[in-house]
Amino acid sequence: MTPLSAWFLACRPKTLSVSLSPVLVGTAVAWHESGRILWLPLLAAIFAAAMIQIGTNLYNDVGDFLRGTDTPDRLGPKRATAEGWLSAKQVRQGARLAFALAFAGGLYLVWHGGWPIVAIGLASLLAGWSYTCGPLPIAYRPLGEIFVWIFFGLVAVAGSTYLQTLSLSPLALFAGGLLGLHAAAVITVNNYRDLDGDARNHKRTLAVLLGRPATRHLYAGEVLLPYLLLPLLAPLGWPAVLPALSLPLAGRLIHRFYREAPGPIFNSILAATAGLQLVFALLLTLSFTL
Protein backbone atom coordinates (compact mmCIF):
# COMPACT_ATOMS: atom_id res chain seq x y z
CA MET A 1 0.00 0.00 0.00
CA THR A 2 1.66 3.22 -1.16
CA PRO A 3 0.98 6.47 0.72
CA LEU A 4 -0.88 7.84 -2.30
CA SER A 5 -3.12 4.77 -2.47
CA ALA A 6 -3.74 4.95 1.28
CA TRP A 7 -4.84 8.58 1.10
CA PHE A 8 -6.99 7.87 -1.96
CA LEU A 9 -8.85 5.06 -0.19
CA ALA A 10 -9.14 7.05 3.04
CA CYS A 11 -11.02 9.77 1.14
CA ARG A 12 -13.62 7.12 0.09
CA PRO A 13 -13.95 8.16 -3.57
CA LYS A 14 -16.85 5.78 -4.29
CA THR A 15 -19.22 7.94 -2.24
CA LEU A 16 -17.96 11.44 -3.06
CA SER A 17 -20.82 11.82 -5.53
CA VAL A 18 -23.12 12.15 -2.49
CA SER A 19 -21.70 15.65 -1.90
CA LEU A 20 -21.40 16.64 -5.56
CA SER A 21 -24.88 15.61 -6.75
CA PRO A 22 -26.72 18.23 -4.65
CA VAL A 23 -24.59 21.02 -6.10
CA LEU A 24 -25.58 19.97 -9.62
CA VAL A 25 -29.27 19.73 -8.75
CA GLY A 26 -29.27 23.04 -6.89
CA THR A 27 -27.61 24.75 -9.84
CA ALA A 28 -30.15 23.19 -12.21
CA VAL A 29 -32.99 24.58 -10.07
CA ALA A 30 -31.38 28.01 -10.34
CA TRP A 31 -31.17 27.62 -14.11
CA HIS A 32 -34.85 26.70 -14.20
CA GLU A 33 -35.77 29.78 -12.16
CA SER A 34 -33.34 32.39 -13.52
CA GLY A 35 -32.15 31.09 -16.91
CA ARG A 36 -28.46 31.55 -16.08
CA ILE A 37 -25.52 29.80 -14.40
CA LEU A 38 -22.73 31.56 -12.51
CA TRP A 39 -19.79 29.28 -13.17
CA LEU A 40 -17.32 30.50 -10.56
CA PRO A 41 -19.73 30.03 -7.63
CA LEU A 42 -20.62 26.60 -9.05
CA LEU A 43 -16.99 25.47 -9.22
CA ALA A 44 -16.21 26.89 -5.78
CA ALA A 45 -19.26 25.12 -4.32
CA ILE A 46 -18.21 21.79 -5.86
CA PHE A 47 -14.71 22.18 -4.42
CA ALA A 48 -15.92 23.17 -0.95
CA ALA A 49 -18.52 20.37 -0.84
CA ALA A 50 -15.94 17.75 -1.84
CA MET A 51 -13.45 18.99 0.77
CA ILE A 52 -16.08 18.93 3.52
CA GLN A 53 -17.00 15.34 2.70
CA ILE A 54 -13.37 14.26 2.46
CA GLY A 55 -12.62 15.91 5.80
CA THR A 56 -15.66 14.24 7.36
CA ASN A 57 -14.54 10.86 6.00
CA LEU A 58 -11.02 11.31 7.40
CA TYR A 59 -12.31 12.36 10.82
CA ASN A 60 -14.56 9.28 10.71
CA ASP A 61 -11.55 7.10 9.85
CA VAL A 62 -9.45 8.26 12.78
CA GLY A 63 -12.39 8.73 15.16
CA ASP A 64 -13.66 5.17 14.80
CA PHE A 65 -10.11 3.86 15.25
CA LEU A 66 -9.52 5.81 18.45
CA ARG A 67 -12.90 4.73 19.86
CA GLY A 68 -12.08 1.09 19.11
CA THR A 69 -14.97 0.63 16.66
CA ASP A 70 -12.83 -0.41 13.68
CA THR A 71 -11.81 -3.89 14.78
CA PRO A 72 -10.23 -6.70 12.70
CA ASP A 73 -13.64 -8.35 12.23
CA ARG A 74 -15.09 -5.23 10.61
CA LEU A 75 -17.18 -6.08 7.53
CA GLY A 76 -16.76 -2.75 5.75
CA PRO A 77 -13.87 -1.61 3.56
CA LYS A 78 -10.50 -1.40 5.25
CA ARG A 79 -9.72 1.91 6.92
CA ALA A 80 -6.37 3.67 6.67
CA THR A 81 -5.81 4.27 10.39
CA ALA A 82 -7.01 0.86 11.59
CA GLU A 83 -4.87 -0.93 9.01
CA GLY A 84 -1.78 1.10 9.90
CA TRP A 85 -1.42 2.54 6.42
CA LEU A 86 -1.44 6.01 7.95
CA SER A 87 -1.03 7.14 11.55
CA ALA A 88 -3.87 8.70 13.51
CA LYS A 89 -1.91 11.96 13.55
CA GLN A 90 -1.54 11.94 9.77
CA VAL A 91 -5.22 11.25 9.14
CA ARG A 92 -6.29 13.93 11.62
CA GLN A 93 -3.97 16.41 9.93
CA GLY A 94 -5.40 15.40 6.56
CA ALA A 95 -8.92 16.05 7.85
CA ARG A 96 -7.89 19.47 9.12
CA LEU A 97 -6.29 20.28 5.78
CA ALA A 98 -9.44 19.28 3.90
CA PHE A 99 -11.55 21.50 6.17
CA ALA A 100 -9.04 24.34 5.76
CA LEU A 101 -9.31 24.04 1.97
CA ALA A 102 -13.10 24.01 2.23
CA PHE A 103 -12.91 27.14 4.39
CA ALA A 104 -10.59 28.82 1.86
CA GLY A 105 -12.95 28.01 -0.99
CA GLY A 106 -15.81 29.20 1.16
CA LEU A 107 -14.27 32.66 1.56
CA TYR A 108 -15.14 33.46 -2.03
CA LEU A 109 -18.61 32.01 -1.57
CA VAL A 110 -19.12 34.18 1.51
CA TRP A 111 -18.01 37.25 -0.43
CA HIS A 112 -20.48 36.31 -3.17
CA GLY A 113 -23.42 35.12 -1.07
CA GLY A 114 -23.08 36.95 2.24
CA TRP A 115 -24.05 35.89 5.77
CA PRO A 116 -26.34 32.95 4.79
CA ILE A 117 -23.27 31.23 3.32
CA VAL A 118 -21.35 31.92 6.54
CA ALA A 119 -24.08 30.11 8.48
CA ILE A 120 -24.23 27.20 6.03
CA GLY A 121 -20.45 26.83 5.86
CA LEU A 122 -19.81 26.92 9.60
CA ALA A 123 -22.71 24.57 10.31
CA SER A 124 -21.44 22.12 7.68
CA LEU A 125 -17.89 22.15 9.05
CA LEU A 126 -19.10 21.70 12.63
CA ALA A 127 -21.44 18.87 11.61
CA GLY A 128 -18.68 17.17 9.61
CA TRP A 129 -16.33 17.24 12.61
CA SER A 130 -18.96 16.17 15.12
CA TYR A 131 -20.16 13.26 12.96
CA THR A 132 -17.53 11.05 14.61
CA CYS A 133 -15.56 13.37 16.90
CA GLY A 134 -16.44 15.38 19.99
CA PRO A 135 -18.31 14.34 23.14
CA LEU A 136 -21.57 13.51 21.33
CA PRO A 137 -20.66 12.05 17.92
CA ILE A 138 -23.60 11.91 15.52
CA ALA A 139 -22.52 8.58 14.04
CA TYR A 140 -22.79 6.91 17.45
CA ARG A 141 -26.44 7.86 17.84
CA PRO A 142 -29.56 7.24 15.76
CA LEU A 143 -29.11 10.56 13.96
CA GLY A 144 -26.92 9.66 11.00
CA GLU A 145 -29.72 9.44 8.45
CA ILE A 146 -31.27 12.74 9.61
CA PHE A 147 -27.85 14.44 9.51
CA VAL A 148 -27.23 13.31 5.94
CA TRP A 149 -30.76 14.18 4.80
CA ILE A 150 -30.35 17.72 6.13
CA PHE A 151 -26.78 18.53 5.08
CA PHE A 152 -26.42 16.45 1.90
CA GLY A 153 -29.99 17.14 0.82
CA LEU A 154 -31.81 20.26 2.01
CA VAL A 155 -28.79 22.43 2.86
CA ALA A 156 -26.60 21.43 -0.08
CA VAL A 157 -29.25 21.81 -2.78
CA ALA A 158 -30.88 24.96 -1.40
CA GLY A 159 -27.46 26.48 -0.69
CA SER A 160 -26.29 25.79 -4.24
CA THR A 161 -29.41 27.43 -5.63
CA TYR A 162 -28.92 30.42 -3.33
CA LEU A 163 -25.38 30.92 -4.64
CA GLN A 164 -26.83 31.29 -8.13
CA THR A 165 -29.92 33.40 -7.38
CA LEU A 166 -29.25 34.91 -3.90
CA SER A 167 -32.74 33.83 -2.86
CA LEU A 168 -34.24 30.86 -1.00
CA SER A 169 -36.14 28.56 -3.32
CA PRO A 170 -38.98 26.27 -2.13
CA LEU A 171 -38.38 24.18 -5.25
CA ALA A 172 -34.74 23.71 -4.24
CA LEU A 173 -35.78 22.61 -0.75
CA PHE A 174 -38.15 20.05 -2.26
CA ALA A 175 -35.46 18.75 -4.64
CA GLY A 176 -33.04 18.62 -1.72
CA GLY A 177 -35.50 16.54 0.25
CA LEU A 178 -35.70 14.03 -2.60
CA LEU A 179 -31.95 13.79 -3.04
CA GLY A 180 -31.31 13.65 0.69
CA LEU A 181 -33.42 10.52 1.04
CA HIS A 182 -31.09 8.60 -1.27
CA ALA A 183 -28.08 10.00 0.60
CA ALA A 184 -29.62 8.77 3.85
CA ALA A 185 -30.06 5.34 2.25
CA VAL A 186 -26.27 5.17 1.82
CA ILE A 187 -25.86 5.60 5.59
CA THR A 188 -28.54 2.99 6.22
CA VAL A 189 -26.62 0.43 4.12
CA ASN A 190 -23.46 1.19 6.09
CA ASN A 191 -25.19 0.85 9.45
CA TYR A 192 -27.09 -2.30 8.46
CA ARG A 193 -23.84 -3.96 7.37
CA ASP A 194 -22.10 -3.01 10.63
CA LEU A 195 -25.07 -3.61 12.95
CA ASP A 196 -23.62 -6.48 14.95
CA GLY A 197 -20.22 -4.87 15.48
CA ASP A 198 -21.78 -1.51 16.29
CA ALA A 199 -24.02 -3.11 18.91
CA ARG A 200 -21.01 -4.78 20.55
CA ASN A 201 -19.16 -1.45 20.62
CA HIS A 202 -22.14 0.49 22.04
CA LYS A 203 -22.63 2.43 18.82
CA ARG A 204 -26.37 3.17 18.92
CA THR A 205 -27.14 3.74 15.25
CA LEU A 206 -30.71 3.72 13.99
CA ALA A 207 -30.12 0.24 12.58
CA VAL A 208 -29.04 -1.02 16.00
CA LEU A 209 -32.18 0.41 17.59
CA LEU A 210 -34.58 -0.83 14.89
CA GLY A 211 -33.07 -4.26 14.19
CA ARG A 212 -32.54 -5.83 10.79
CA PRO A 213 -36.16 -6.38 9.58
CA ALA A 214 -37.23 -2.79 10.29
CA THR A 215 -33.99 -1.42 8.82
CA ARG A 216 -34.69 -3.26 5.58
CA HIS A 217 -38.05 -1.51 5.43
CA LEU A 218 -36.35 1.81 6.23
CA TYR A 219 -33.97 1.36 3.31
CA ALA A 220 -36.82 0.52 0.94
CA GLY A 221 -38.67 3.64 2.07
CA GLU A 222 -35.65 5.90 1.62
CA VAL A 223 -35.06 4.57 -1.87
CA LEU A 224 -38.69 4.59 -3.07
CA LEU A 225 -40.11 7.74 -1.49
CA PRO A 226 -38.37 10.14 -3.93
CA TYR A 227 -40.12 8.36 -6.81
CA LEU A 228 -43.49 8.52 -5.07
CA LEU A 229 -43.05 12.29 -4.66
CA LEU A 230 -42.10 12.96 -8.28
CA PRO A 231 -45.73 13.78 -9.29
CA LEU A 232 -45.36 16.98 -7.25
CA LEU A 233 -42.96 18.14 -9.99
CA ALA A 234 -45.76 17.91 -12.57
CA PRO A 235 -45.59 21.69 -13.30
CA LEU A 236 -42.26 20.97 -15.01
CA GLY A 237 -44.11 19.04 -17.69
CA TRP A 238 -42.93 15.77 -19.19
CA PRO A 239 -39.28 16.18 -17.99
CA ALA A 240 -40.57 15.57 -14.46
CA VAL A 241 -40.77 11.84 -15.23
CA LEU A 242 -37.08 11.53 -16.18
CA PRO A 243 -35.84 10.53 -12.69
CA ALA A 244 -38.28 7.60 -12.82
CA LEU A 245 -36.01 6.04 -15.45
CA SER A 246 -33.74 4.99 -12.58
CA LEU A 247 -36.54 3.11 -10.81
CA PRO A 248 -35.50 -0.34 -12.15
CA LEU A 249 -32.06 0.19 -10.62
CA ALA A 250 -33.73 1.14 -7.33
CA GLY A 251 -35.85 -2.00 -7.44
CA ARG A 252 -32.82 -4.24 -7.98
CA LEU A 253 -31.01 -2.62 -5.04
CA ILE A 254 -33.98 -3.13 -2.71
CA HIS A 255 -34.21 -6.76 -3.82
CA ARG A 256 -30.52 -7.28 -3.07
CA PHE A 257 -30.83 -5.54 0.30
CA TYR A 258 -33.64 -7.90 1.35
CA ARG A 259 -32.10 -11.03 -0.16
CA GLU A 260 -28.41 -10.84 0.77
CA ALA A 261 -27.14 -12.01 4.16
CA PRO A 262 -25.29 -9.31 6.12
CA GLY A 263 -21.63 -9.32 5.15
CA PRO A 264 -19.03 -7.78 2.84
CA ILE A 265 -21.51 -7.98 -0.08
CA PHE A 266 -23.07 -4.84 1.40
CA ASN A 267 -19.95 -2.89 0.43
CA SER A 268 -21.02 -3.21 -3.20
CA ILE A 269 -24.65 -2.40 -2.29
CA LEU A 270 -23.43 0.76 -0.55
CA ALA A 271 -21.45 1.86 -3.62
CA ALA A 272 -24.41 1.03 -5.87
CA THR A 273 -26.76 3.08 -3.65
CA ALA A 274 -24.43 6.07 -4.01
CA GLY A 275 -24.49 5.38 -7.74
CA LEU A 276 -28.30 5.34 -7.72
CA GLN A 277 -28.33 8.76 -6.07
CA LEU A 278 -25.97 10.09 -8.73
CA VAL A 279 -28.11 8.72 -11.59
CA PHE A 280 -31.27 10.10 -9.96
CA ALA A 281 -29.54 13.48 -9.49
CA LEU A 282 -28.39 13.65 -13.11
CA LEU A 283 -31.89 12.84 -14.36
CA LEU A 284 -33.38 15.37 -11.93
CA THR A 285 -30.90 17.93 -13.25
CA LEU A 286 -32.19 17.27 -16.77
CA SER A 287 -35.76 17.70 -15.51
CA PHE A 288 -34.97 21.25 -14.43
CA THR A 289 -32.92 22.22 -17.48
CA LEU A 290 -34.96 20.88 -20.41
CA torsion, ordered 7, 11, 14, 20, to nearest 10 deg = -140
What value does the mean pLDDT take over residues 50-68?
A: 89
pLDDT value for 202: 83
Task: Give the span between the Cα atoms of 45 and 48, in whole angstroms.
Answer: 5
pLDDT band at 174 (very low <50, low <70, confident <90, very high): very high
Q: Give the whole-number percent of the chain exceeding pLDDT 70.
A: 98
1 CB-near residues (< 8 Å, 6+ apart): 83, 85
More confident residue, 212 or 139: 212
Most confident of the following: 196-205, 216-225, 259-268 = 216-225
**Distance of alpha carbon 129 from its chain centroid, rounded?**
14
pLDDT value for 73: 63
* Element housing 116 (H / E): helix 115-130
Task: Give the span between the Cα atoms of 192 and 141, in whole angstroms.
Answer: 14
Residue 200 has pLDDT above 90, yes or no: no
**Distance of alpha carbon 57 from its chain centroid, rounded?**
10
pLDDT value for 74: 67
Q: Give me the sign of the Cα torsion angle 85, 87, 92, 97.
A: negative
> What average pLDDT does the structure give for the chain?
92
Q: Domains in the chain, ordered, with CATH?
A: 15-289 (1.10.600)
pLDDT value for 272: 95
pLDDT band at 72 (very low <50, low <70, confident <90, very high): low
pLDDT value for 281: 97
pLDDT tens digit string along 97-119? 999 999 998 999 999 999 999 99
Identify the three-state secondary structure at position 64. helix
pLDDT band at 140 (very low <50, low <70, confident <90, very high): confident
